[in-house]
Amino acid sequence: MNILAIGAHFDDIELGCGGALLKHAVNKDKVYAYVVTESGFKNPNRQVIRTNKVAQEEGKAAIEILGAELICGNFKTMEVEFSEKLNAQILAIIEEKKIEKVYTHWIGDIHHDHHAVSMASLHSCRHVPRMLMYRSNWYHSTSEFRGNFYIDITGFIDKKIQAIKAHKSELKRTHQKWISFFKNEAENAGQKIGVKYAEVFEAVKWME
């Protein structure tokens, strides 16, 4: 099976569906990861927090740990829009790689870039038979995340954490909070289906 994970920034895919991708890779599926932005960013005072070069270097290392092939976009961080340019890039990957299953951002995510990427994914992947949406942050939303599809990642949690740790600049900024939050999320999801760790998704469609 040909799998595509779509993320707005380097680290979104690792956080949201890293365990599932590791499982796909072990099962000999062909896994692609498309990161839409260059992923460097500045704080509100315009101080550089992470350069594009550092983001890409860390992102390449993380995606390699997941066993995926990285496809880099060139959109600017915090400037992603639901546009024909983005739609066309996603559609080109879908067609070229003959994608059969997509993981992407949850449509209710309030992060500007995440929401735009989710909308573009829903539009461009309309002919892909299987599609799941993930969460890659802890932000509150006025929409409800309807987690209704679970994947057991018990055997992959350590490697998922290893991939997250590849983003050293982000861990320096968040002080390991991403790791503890998503490990707890995976443990809670696992309890609901009787395993140690799981990732939970909102299913858009699932056609056999």
Summarised one tens digit per residue, pLDDT across range 89-133 is 999 999 999 999 999 999 999 999 999 999 999 999 999 999 999
H/E element holding 122?
helix 112-124
Looking at residue 208, what is its pLDDT? 83
Q: How far apart are CA 153 and CA 100, in angstroms?
A: 21
Q: Is the pLDDT of residue 170 over 90?
A: no
Residue type, 108: G
Could you tell me which residues are beta bridge partners of residue 135?
none
Percent of the chain with pLDDT over 70: 98
CB 77 within 8 A of CB 40: yes
Structural domains present in the chain:
2-206 (3.40.50.10320)
State whether residue 198 is helix, strand or coil.
Answer: strand
Q: Which residues contact 157 (CB under 8 A, 6 or more apart)?
A: 19, 183, 186, 196, 197
Closest listed residue to residue 60, CA positions, set 2, 14, 118, 91: 14
Q: Which residues contact 12 (CB under 8 A, 6 or more apart)?
A: 35, 105, 114, 136
Question: Strands (DSSP E) along the chain, which ranges?
Answer: 2-7, 30-37, 41-42, 48-50, 69-75, 101-105, 130-134, 149-152, 198-206
Tens digits of residue pLDDT in 62-96: 999 999 999 999 999 889 999 999 999 999 999 99
The pLDDT assigned to 71 comes to 98
* 19 neighbors 160 (Cβ within 8 angstroms): yes
In this predicted structure, which of 58-67, 138-147, 163-172 has the lowest mean pLDDT? 163-172
Query: Average pLDDT of 134-155?
Result: 95
The dihedral through the CA atoms of 70, 25, 129, 132 has a sign that is negative
